[in-house]
Amino acid sequence: MSDIVIPNAWEPLEHQTSLWQYMSEGGLRACVVWHRRAGKDSTVLNMTCDRMFDRIGTYWHMLPEKEQARKAVWNGIDKQGRRIIDQVFPQAMRAKTIDDEMRIEARNGSMWQVVGSDNYNSLIGANPVGVVFSEYSVGNPAAWDFIRPILAENGGWAVFIYTPRGRNHGKKLYDMALKNKDWFVEYLTVDDTLVISPAVIQAEIDSGMDDDMVQQEFFCSWAGVQQGSIYGNAMSLMRTQGRIGKYPYDRRYPVQTFWDIGHRDATSVVCHQQIGAFDRFIHAYESGGQDVSHFVSHLKSLPYVYGAHYLPHDAKNVTLAAKSNQLGKNVWDQMYALGMRDLKLVPRTRDQWVAINATRLRLDTVQIDETGCEHMIEAMESYHKKWDEVRRCYNNEPVHDWSSNYCDAVRGWAQGFSGQGITSSSFTRPDALRGGGNSFTMPAIVKSIGNRRTGY
């Protein structure tokens, strides 16, 4: 039997050699910001295959969405017309290929798999020793929080490869890595690699690519907001005006919670206070595969005095993470049985974009605590419209990905809290009873149950 040469029928280009050398020498953390078509995935896929024979273990190539991973990597074709996985992982090195799991098992016992950050919770129990976060700037940053302690414990490595998508979590990671001597950092535009000619870029412009997209994709610009962003401009204004920062819990005011109940994905809960003219978000929490008691216990662990809890319109019809000894048949009943008394339903909207536009307007009054709501901020900056490949434009359908859960919870606030109805009823704040004299309005169309109370 002839020898198997790794990498197989591939050699790094000049601009790819620094990353290759760093990883081949045992590097553990790398942040790689390269322009479009610089060969990011090709480089790290071949590098991963090489590392699989240095250390037997599990390796992941993670894209933002599982289906995107199948299309772009598992079924992807390279410039030479070869199937990507066949070039990277020649048949002679494989012991098994499992198509439905997008997994390849090598003859030496190592395993490589393509996964999505949209369902990282389903990967619980695995013990990867090497993970590539591809297109990290549009992926779920919570996946890194989940995987980081695993790699720290087993001495594994992580490589982040992406092109900028505004000043979101991708920029945050890049800034952190620049200051950290333990990280490899590389930022390459077309002027650095020279692999894309001005004529090619001009052809993209002639076919309709706007200037902001050109600067982002080919010159790695962090300026502006993500293309197709829904709340990007509002979030940018918040940062400019200093409304994203240190805005902790103020114990003089009750805390409202707003929920997005995940049927097949994560459930998100955001905690809000109305303080004067501002709507302050102080805490956000998300988890998948958990029952109602998990979220109630989390809320009770916080030092908050609660007002109302706002649930989606279907909370009386759906269950959440069905487990043994449930306290009720639906989310509403379970929460009530667990001591949550001031429950309200947010009315269902017939037009999603009417609600989204209303949320945009209300964001002018919002303050967000950057510590307590870190992932909510990232989600709101990443929430975007779907790209229409045929019409070559963004349509009016939001992409349902990791970012939509928190955004739906925030939309529940915009729809259900303080003056969103045509008519409203006035309620007195707890501090007004103590002589503060403040009051606020609640929409009469929001349904409620039980007597209002400020705690459990």
pLDDT of residue 319 exceeding 80: no
Q: Give pLDDT, residue 440.
A: 33
Nearest to 134 by CA among 225, 189, 73, 199: 73
pLDDT of residue 44 exceeding 60: yes
Domain range summary for the chain, segments of one domain joined by +: 14-219, 239-449
Q: Give pLDDT, residue 226.
A: 66
pLDDT of residue 329 exceeding 90: no
DSSP string, 217-244: HHH----S--TTBSSHHHHHHHHHTT-E
Q: Which two tokens stand for residue 176?
A: 């952190």
Cα of 386 vs its chain's centroid, Å: 16
Pairing state of beta strands 385-388 and 366-369?
Answer: unpaired
Looking at every residue in the chain, the average pLDDT score rounds to 86
Q: Give pLDDT, residue 288.
A: 83
Give the DSSP H/E element, type plus range, for residue 325. Answer: none
Q: Give pLDDT, residue 318.
A: 73
Q: How confident is the model at residue 374 (pLDDT cuts 50, 70, 90)?
A: very high
3-state secondary structure of 333: helix
Positive or negative, the CA dihedral 272, 276, 277, 278 is negative
Q: Give pLDDT, residue 392.
A: 59
Q: How confident is the model at residue 254 (pLDDT cuts 50, 70, 90)?
A: very high
Q: Which two tokens stand for residue 7?
A: 């990498």
Asked if residue 331 lies in contact with residue 311, where contact means CB atoms within 8 angstroms, the answer is: yes
Q: What is the pLDDT of residues 165-224, one digit of tens each?
A: 888 899 999 999 999 999 999 999 999 999 999 999 999 999 888 888 899 999 999 986
Q: Is the backbone of residue 448 left (phi > 0), alpha (psi -120 to 50) or beta?
A: beta
DSSP bridge pairs for 31:
160, 185
Q: Give pLDDT, residue 391.
A: 65
Q: Which two tokens stand for residue 46?
A: 């071949």
Q: Give pLDDT, residue 71.
A: 94
Q: What is the pLDDT of residues 137-169, one digit of tens each?
A: 999 999 999 999 999 999 999 999 999 988 889
As a CATH number, domain 239-449 is 3.30.420.280
Which comes out higher in pLDDT, residue 443 or 5? 5
Q: Which residues of 147-165 are buried (b: 16+ CB within 10 A; e: fewer)?
A: beebbeeeebbbbbbbbbb
The separation between the first and the last C-alpha atoms of the chain, rounded to the nearest angstrom, is 71
Which comes out higher in pLDDT, residue 379 or 419? 379
Q: How confident is the model at residue 389 (pLDDT cuts 50, 70, 90)?
A: low
Q: What is the pLDDT of residues 78-126, one digit of tens each?
A: 989 999 999 999 999 999 999 999 999 999 999 999 999 987 877 877 8
> pTM for the complete prediction?
0.77
Nearest to 312 by CA among 194, 408, 177, 441: 408
Q: Does domain 14-219 have CATH number 3.40.50.12780?
A: no
